[in-house]
Amino acid sequence: MDELAFTKGHGTENDFVVVADPDGALDLDDDLVARLCDRRAGIGGDGLIRVVRSDACRDAAAGAAHEDGARWFMDYRNADGSAAEMCGNGVRVFVAYLLREGLVGAAELTPQAPLAVGSRGGVKRVHRRPGPDGTPHLAVDMGPWRLTGGEQGARDGHDALVHVGGLDVARPGLSLDLGNPHTVVVLNDAAQLEAVELHRAPVVEPAPPHGTNVELVVMEESDGDVGRLRMRVHERGVGETRSCGTGACAAALAARTWAGAGAPDRWLVDSPGGQVEVRVLPGDRVELAGPAVLVADGVAHLSPS
C-alpha cells in the first residue's frame, strides 16, 4: 500500500485521521497508525478512526456489535497506535463522516430511531439535535457507566492519589469506567487548572491495570439546574488533548457524585477545544452531545519509516 485516502475531522478540537475501510481490507498496524497521527512527520491527530462494516471487521467486538444491530464499527486507535475502547468525540466525527458519504441517512438519526454504532466499548446510539447555541449537534448515548470504587468510592469521594506536574502534593482522584478508564481530580480554581503540567502523564496510585485518562476539573457556579465545569485532560497513549468526550462525561459524573443529593443531571463542560453537553440518563447511562466537523480530505503517501 503506497497511498491512503483520509479525512481529517475534529470534535471540539479533539482531532482524528479518518480512514474508510468498509470491507475490512486494510492492515493498519500500530506503527502505521502512529506515523499517520504524528503531527510533524504525518497528518497529525489525537487518534485514528477506521470506518468499517461490523460484519467485515475481525475485531471480536465488531461481531457482537453486528448482532446488536450496528451496521458500522468504529475501530478507534490512540495516537501511539494502541487500540482503545471508545472515544466520545470520535464517535460524533465517525457519524458525521457516515452522513457526508451517504452511508447512513438523516432519518436514522432521530431520538426515536437513533443510529447504532459499534465500538470496543459497546454499541452507542446517536441522534441529531440542536445544541445550546442552536447549531446542530450529535448526541451519543454513551451507555452504562460506573464508579470503579463502587459505593465506597462514592462515600469517600475518591479512590486514588494522583501526582500531577505543577501541583506540590498528590491530589485525591475518583475513578470511573465509561467503557474506558478515567480518574477525575478536582482543583481549587481556574488559575490552578492553567498551571498544571500535562506534557507528562500524571502518576495514579494504585496504578490502573490498563492505564487511565486523567481529568483535572474546576467546578463553576451552576446556572439554575445546569452544572458547569472547566476541564483539562491527559489521555493515555496520547498526552494532553484539547478535549475528551468520555472525559467530559467522567468529569460531570464525578462532580455530580461530589455534589450529592439534588445535583444537576445536565452539565456543560468547557475544555480548551470548546464546550460539550453531558446529560445523566435513567439506568446509570450518560449522554454526550456536541459538534463534529470534517475539515479536509487528502491522500497520504506511505513511504517506509
Q: How far is CA 111 from the centre of its chain?
A: 21
CA dihedral 146, 293, 222, 230 (to 10 degrees): 80
Q: What does the alpha-carbon distance between residue 175 and residue 194 come to, in Å, rounded to a whole number?
A: 22
Q: Find the helix or strand (DSSP H, E) in which 54 lies.
A: none
Give catalytic status of residue 249 as yes or no. Answer: no
From residue 24, how far is each of 20, 62, 138, 293, 299 by CA, in Å? 9, 11, 26, 25, 19
Distance CA 293, CA 274 (A): 12
Catalytically annotated residue among 37, 57, 87, 249: 87
Cell numbers describing residue 249: 462525561
DSSP one-letter string for 97-116: HHHHTTSS-GGGSSSSSPEE
Q: How many CB atoms lie within 10 A of CB 199?
A: 8
**Is 37 assigned a catalytic role?**
no
For residue 180, which of 288, 56, 55 has the smallest C-alpha distance? 288
- Marked catalytic residue, from 37, 57, 244, 249: 244
Specify burial of residue 2 (Cβ count, 10 A radius: 0-12, 13-18, 19+).
exposed
Burial of 234 (0-12, 13-18, 19+ CB in 10 A): buried
Point out the residues that are catalytic.
87, 244
